[in-house]
Structure 1
């Protein structure tokens, strides 16, 4: 039996060597397909907006700029109103469920937008979403500039309900920085295709800080090296976000809560504006070349490319991995305080509680078909075990599922002890009910739930929670891909996925017996062949 296990390990080693041999070359068909798919695809701006009279008029606000934009881009407003960037709701979900961060879905970061809009909508591509009365039908409230301006000077104010900084001539301090009003004509006349900086303005800083949420998206991706990301590396392919996140009628390709990422695994060569993004879009599902490399191709029907090619995330900047709201509220000398730890990141804040940050994090792995299942503040929970406020959907039986790497953010999050559901606290505001003002959980949750139109028993507890983010950025160079033995071993990366047999990790009497049978049959065959040769050799001499 030990011999058989060693044989299995030897086979794994051969596969690993094959992968190394392939890595030494540069002739993989997937790589060639990627070059073909992206060659000559860069779209250049065909208009100099600084010459447009409509953008030379004096502007005093963002909506005035948007109104001028719409005089040429007559359909853009209608298109954008249908996108998740505007609604913050899953367009595929039933409206009454209010699935999305603009609805009742909860996370274990700042929990929910309801009653906290002015702070949360700092990243909304609109102007003035400060409460539930925001006019989602107004085209002039769309913020064209946050995605398209190219001066780098346009900034949303952190608590401005999507508005930029105060009027001209005034400055206002927020998050330790001074914000001045935009030079409207200058930023309006600079517009072009979205860059990393445009996208990163929100997506690098989700959760209120650099690298807080995603782990594979932070400011290090603004000008990354190839070592950090082979696609976006300045010394590599130098892709912008929109190279992969292609767009049709302002609808940007990417994951949406309840919509699978791939039911049809199309190639970008077939459909360059596909609504879903997959590695196969450029690299196909047979990306590895050579006989030994072909063994790696046997993995693509069950293993996401990211599982091997993103060995760790948060490789340059730390990401938040733990947030304990139950510890919030402590003061020093009667005043709120912040305690910083490694990398200058806060490890305790009176406003937010205990936190833990990590770098070079090894992902956790789950079966995933592209759909994320979420819960809302209406969902009944079991507080005796960790609550999965979001979780990947998929299984080994699902043909569209692959083993995928994830960042899993954990924490202690408030819930209703009597009604057994997660709650929505009123965090932001100058009123005493706001937690960040009065530091009273009962008042905060009472106000937040009332605002959302939901019942609350009056008793707040805290439960451990888990929230997942698929890891798809920070793709490492081929030489840094996950080695075979990191999974094909005891206590390897996939030790929690026990629904299948994996050589090098698992033992099976049936497989071992089968292996012994093959070994014995091979040995008998060799012996019989040798005896036959000897016998025939003797007859020739006669």
Structure 2
């Protein structure tokens, strides 16, 4: 082959190899956003095409008459024959931390919180939000494929409800017939034929109402996020990016991207520029590590300050969230229940007293993506506030960033002798020992501890507790980002964080004294210089 031909072949090969880079460069240059965001936007368009699913209303197997939800699942599995096996390996099914071989960590284990405390012995009520049918006690068969609830995540009619009910079965609809009340099951045919990829309402069915009501738990996840505007959340706003939950919480074999107890949501801070196949759960996935086009000083913060810390100035901006729960005062059936400024009750005889908050400034802590939890086996120190869950991280950890949290405080029962948190039986009929029926703490704790095969000394009290929720939703428009002075000032948002020097907040006495000495010396020098000039000018006038 002659030299000219070789050059032609080489040039052609280079053109083919470099074309994608040129196309990407054009994409970046035509877009005012960072390249990562431009690629993310392009990916959204591709995802929209993938979003089209089979028209299930045309499938004969879904036109049969269904009388039980389990039969709908069996029909689903005739085509999606790997789905149940995949789900059985996920935390949405087990409610246990897959990284903990003991099985203690997780709602399905013996982890405790300072809301309704723990699931064990309270399953029929708590498992209203489980993606299965019939988890009413410890004998639930987690291996049965037909017990998977496909509908709660995939139906699109909005008529399929599980909450509140018993053990994960759908709510029946009451109707009058011939003078009598009948309870009819959902229209399984209509529901099954509507299925598609999960939307916000599917996820929100459980995640908006955690803790027993709208906005109770998280503070940044509630019913306002079903149809928010971009003032509430720039990503999910229907007049903005209009993302569904799965845009960031990407899924692989029914494993949904997100933090799982001590396991971070992601261990690598990559952008889509580096790896478009990674879970798109981190801000860097779309925005890169240098997200600010014209503010390099802001970019200098990204190695130590999370994006959320600046771009979620407050949480619970629409609906009030529960900030404090005192179990120790429960049981007073004569106490007057009052409504606070948000229209929320301050007391419930079954649960105790509450404090609610709205438009709350987060608490900021170092966070590497892991959270340390507490189980009913862990020994606590009741002489101080028990951090039932708390973020892991510090300034020396390269994976840690200053991150915003909701901190829920409470007074929660514990074993005075064994110095452990306890799991009381709360839900159940009268005579079962359930506190909400019998109002006897000692009996409720004894029954709950025995059910969970845990010791109980017979002596209980209440201890101050704290529980954290990372704030990652309700990202405000950039114009509403936290101003520099809100952190860089005495008494600012980061006033409690120690171990580093922050301009505007901190001062070094010796340095201050040296600085003022220099100022004084400069002022004295100016004064002496001026005096010398004046005296010399007087002498010249006399001559």
Query: Normalising to structure 1: TM-score of the pair?
Result: 0.85
2:122 to 101, 107, 116: 116
Segment drifting more, 161-170 vs 240-249? 161-170
Distance in 1, matches of 2:517 and 2:266, equals 41
The corresponding residue for 1:476 is: 476
The corresponding residue for 2:76 is: 69
1:58 aligns with 2:57: no
Which has the higher Rg, Structure 1 or Structure 2? 2
Are the aligned partners of 2:96 and 2:109 in contact in 1 as well (CA < 8 Å)? Answer: yes
1:229 to 226, 229, 233: 233
Are the aligned partners of 2:488 and 2:502 in contact in 1 as well (CA < 8 Å)? Answer: yes
Count of residue pairs the alignment pairs up? 486
Structure 2 vs 1, CA of residues 234 and 518 (structure 1 numbering), >3 Å: closer, same or farther? farther
The corresponding residue for 2:112 is: 106
Structure 2 vs 1, CA of residues 280 and 517 (structure 1 numbering), >3 Å: closer, same or farther? farther
User: How far apart are 1:159 and its partner, in Å?
Assistant: 3.0
Aligned pairs (5 A) from 1:19-30: 27-28=33-34
Structure 2 vs 1, CA of residues 513 and 139 (structure 1 numbering), >3 Å: closer, same or farther? farther
Structure 2 vs 1, CA of residues 485 and 368 (structure 1 numbering), >3 Å: closer, same or farther? same
The corresponding residue for 1:13 is: none
User: How far apart are 1:519 and its partner, in Å?
Assistant: 10
- Unaligned runs of 5+ residues in structure 1 are 1-24, 172-177, 524-542
1:125 aligns with 2:125: no
1:90 aligns with 2:97: yes
The corresponding residue for 1:313 is: 315
Distance in 2, matches of 1:488 and 1:57, equals 65
Q: CA offsets per residue over residues 172-204 of structure 1, 9 Å max, x none?
A: xxxxxx985210000000000100000000000
Matched position secondary structure for 2:99: coil
Distance in 1, matches of 2:143 and 2:118, equals 23
Q: CA offsets per residue over residues 260-281 of structure 1, 9 Å max, x none?
A: 2333112234444534611001
The corresponding residue for 2:216 is: 212
The corresponding residue for 1:418 is: 417
Distance in 2, matches of 1:299 and 1:482, equals 13
1:139 to 140, 145, 154: 145
Distance in 2, matches of 1:98 and 1:273, equals 33
User: How far apart are 1:170 and its partner, in Å?
Assistant: 8.0
Matched position secondary structure for 1:323: strand
The corresponding residue for 1:7 is: none
The corresponding residue for 1:526 is: none
Structure 2 vs 1, CA of residues 514 and 310 (structure 1 numbering), >3 Å: closer, same or farther? farther
Are the aligned partners of 2:207 and 2:221 in contact in 1 as well (CA < 8 Å)? Answer: yes
Matched position secondary structure for 1:464: strand
Q: CA offsets per residue over residues 16-59 of structure 1, 9 Å max, x none?
A: xxxxxxxxx96455644543443432222231001111111110
Aligned pairs (5 A) from 1:192-341: 192-275=196-279, 277-290=281-294, 293-332=295-334, 338-341=337-340
Distance in 2, matches of 1:198 and 1:265, equals 29
The corresponding residue for 2:47 is: 41
Larger relative contact order, structure 1 or 2 (CA cutoff 8 Å, min sep 6)? 1
Distance in 2, matches of 1:268 and 1:337, equals 56
Distance in 2, matches of 1:507 and 1:399, equals 25
Distance in 2, matches of 1:215 and 1:195, equals 20
Distance in 2, matches of 1:165 and 1:506, equals 57
Distance in 1, matches of 2:336 and 2:215, equals 22
The corresponding residue for 1:154 is: 160
Structure 2 vs 1, CA of residues 458 and 289 (structure 1 numbering), >3 Å: closer, same or farther? same
Distance in 1, matches of 2:510 and 2:300, equals 22
User: How far apart are 1:515 and its partner, in Å?
Assistant: 7.6
Distance in 1, matches of 2:185 and 2:265, equals 40
Distance in 2, matches of 1:384 and 1:442, equals 21
Distance in 2, matches of 1:273 and 1:67, equals 32
Q: CA offsets per residue over residues 323-346 of structure 1, 9 Å max, x none?
A: 0000100012xxx87543333212
- Unaligned runs of 5+ residues in structure 2 are 1-30, 524-543
User: How far apart are 1:410 and its partner, in Å?
Assistant: 0.2
